[in-house]
Amino acid sequence: MGKLKELQETLQQFSKRKRATRKQLQSLAGKLNWACQVIKGGRIFLRRILDTLPQLRHVTHKVLLSADFMLDLRWWLDFLATFNGTMPIRNQKPIIDVQVDACNLASGIYFRGDWQYVCPISV
Residue 23: CATH number of its domain: 3.30.70.270
Checking if the pLDDT of 88 tops 80, the result is: no
In a domain, 20, yes or no: yes
Q: pLDDT band at 30, cuts 50/70/90?
A: very high
Q: What's the structural domain count of the chain? A: 1
Question: By percentage, how much of the chain surpasses pLDDT 70?
Answer: 86
Task: Read off φ and ψ for residue 38, nearest 5 degrees.
Answer: -120, -10
DSSP per-residue string spanning 23-82: HHHHHHHHHHHHHTTTSTTHHHHHHHHHHHGGG-SSTT-EEEPPHHHHHHHHHHHHHHHH
Side by side, the strands of the sheet bearing 114-118 are 98-102, 107-111, 114-118
DSSP designation for 113: T
pTM for the full predicted model: 0.64
Checking if the pLDDT of 105 tops 80, the result is: yes
Confidence at residue 21, expressed as pLDDT on a 0 to 100 scale: 92
What number is the average pLDDT over the span 34-57? 85
Confidence at residue 98, expressed as pLDDT on a 0 to 100 scale: 79
Segments forming the whole domain that contains residue 57: 3-82
